[in-house]
A and B are shown apart, each in its own frame.
Chain A
Amino acid sequence: MKLGKYIIDKLLLIFIFIVSYFIIFLLLVSFKNSYLLIISITFIYIIMGSLLLFIPYFEKKKFYNELVNYVNLLDKKYLILEMLPKPSFYEGEVLYQALYDINKSMAEAVKMSEDNIEDFKEYIEMWIHEVKIPISSLTLLCHNHKDTLDKSYLEQVKRLDQYIDQVLYYVRSNYTEEDFVIKKVELEKIVSSVLLKNKDDLLAKKIDLFVDLDHIFIYTDSKWLEFILNQIINNSIKYQRKSVKSYIKIFVTDSKDFVTLHLLDNGIGIPKSDLSHVFKKSFTGENGRSSLKSTGMGLYIADKLCKKLGHKIEIESVHKKSTEVRIIFGKNKYYTMD
């Protein structure tokens, strides 16, 4: 609260005060009072006027300065009422009460919206568990009737399952705080189950695998990491380069502070201009546009999950030559609890 602006604000009052002084002055002069009386009254008038002007100023200044200050300092500005002492003057009380009511109504609106999201999330999770049952039946049916059924049935069922997993992990990456469990796991176990999941595709597309994981253990949520790796392997399969003998190399490098998992393929690569956007939501890029199956969600979700788990995901590519995805696991004491 600035004094200059406060005075400008009170100009009307000051003006009335001065006018009233002149009227009194004129009255005193016209009734021929002594100069001493006139000077005394003038003196009292100035003191009273100043008090009337400045006492409220200092009273309000404390409250409003605190208000402005806290609003600037606070990250979550709606928490202002938690910090602000109750004002001792009427105007302040009115403002304080209004802030309180606004806050309360906002909190209710936010709560309602949170509840809605929570309901929605629960419903989606439940729906996913439900829909996995018919998918299981279909998988079993395809397997039991593989003599008579074409392979493409099973492929379609697998695609269905993958899209459903994408929804599940999208919900998990966006709407949950702590839905994962960090445990010590052998990297090979997770990689192996992802590769097994994609075995038929990898074999059918004649993609050779070179895996060397050196019995390394990491701290992660194995289900989440499985999903992340599945997205990456799926991309390698989807963006295979037809003119060469395709391969995927999976290996680790181990340093003092990090374990880095490398997934390297000799696929069609990513154009330089697209590379910085691959983790963006719904980004499909040049490669995605030429393949109808791209949703632009896989890497976006993978990146979000990595961030939540405290891993880092990086991508490097030479267009028309190779792509390498790296996942970096910190050896932070926070995770290892050593």
Chain B
Amino acid sequence: MKKIMIVEDDETISKELQNLLKNSSYEVEVLRDFNHALEKILESKSDLILLDINIPLLNGEALLKEIRKKSNIPVIMVTSRVSEIDEAISISYGADDYITKPYNPTILLLRIQNIFKRIDHKIDTLTYLDLEILPSRGILKRGNDELILTKNEMIIFQYLVNNKGNLVTRDELMTDLWNNNEYINDNALTVNISRLRSKLSFFGYSDKIETRKGCGYILL
């Protein structure tokens, strides 16, 4: 389980953020002691830090600079200041991503997931049971059996595989698709899911994508 540290001084946000991340099966630690922020962050052995820019005592950008001297742990900067300059500063100090408040929680989760995917080099080597997934070529294969997935089907399938065993909402899938510049509507998503199902049944996995009515899907 990946561990995420929240550096945020607003109580409500950090509490709700904690719930959000826990629901997506991350382990969460909240920084309480801003006096020793750097030490606490390094001690926590987190896999990712959500760092707010407006924190007490030390500004987030300065803290990021300090962290970067000692560690290259992924950092997502979070701020309520909407400005290109602030973003450029954060990125130049070594932030992995930058997101402005108020953010869409689904998009935040997606960004976190993308960072972990990048780090774990999961982009081009993904497997599901005995199936090999080649996203860049859009191919699903087992031995010599190959099937071509469309771009949309591939995006959906990858998302399901990355969250195997967990409930994936339609909103999450939609967000991921739109984030990949595939602006499909609700009907098209349903169609894509059923095509994906029939492609999986080609390999003998016919009932692997379960529908949870009104919620979403689970890949078993």
Contacts from A to B (Cβ < 8 Å)? 128-130, 132-141, 143-144, 157, 161, 165, 168, 179-181, 183, 188, 192, 195-197, 199, 202-203, 206, 208-209, 211, 221-224
Contacts of B175 in A (CB 8 A): 196, 199
Query: Are B104 and A192 in contact, CB atoms less than 8 angstroms apart?
Result: no
Q: Choose one: A134, A195, A222; the contact of B178 (CB below 8 Å).
A: A195
Quick one: which of B84, B179, B185 has the most chain A CB within 10 A? B84
A136-B9 Cα distance, complex, nearest whole Å = 13
A123-B94 Cα distance, complex, nearest whole Å = 30
Provide the B156-186 mask, 1 if CB < 8 A to any CB of A, else 0: 0000000000000000001100110101011
A144-B22 Cα distance, complex, nearest whole Å = 11
29 A-B interface contacts by CB (under 8 A): A128-B80, A132-B80, A133-B13, A135-B101, A135-B102, A136-B13, A136-B102, A136-B103, A139-B104, A140-B13, A143-B106, A144-B23, A157-B102, A168-B82, A179-B83, A181-B88, A188-B181, A192-B179, A192-B181, A195-B183, A196-B175, A199-B175, A202-B183, A203-B174, A203-B185, A206-B185, A221-B84, A223-B82, A223-B83
Q: Give the number of chain B interface residues (Cβ < 8 Å).
A: 32
Q: Choose one: A129, A138, A141, A203; the contact of B80 (CB below 8 Å).
A: A129
- Tell me whether B43 is interfacial, beta carbon within 8 Å: no
Query: Are A199 and B12 in contact, CB atoms less than 8 angstroms apart?
Result: no
Query: Are B13 and A137 in contact, CB atoms less than 8 angstroms apart?
Result: yes
- Known A-B contacts A144-B16, A196-B107, A208-B185; the reply to A137 vs B23 at CB < 8 A is no
Q: Choose one: B81, B82, B105, B107; the contact of A140 (CB below 8 Å).
A: B105
A334-B88 Cα distance, complex, nearest whole Å = 21
Quick one: which of B12, B16, B85, B179 has the most chain A CB within 10 A? B16
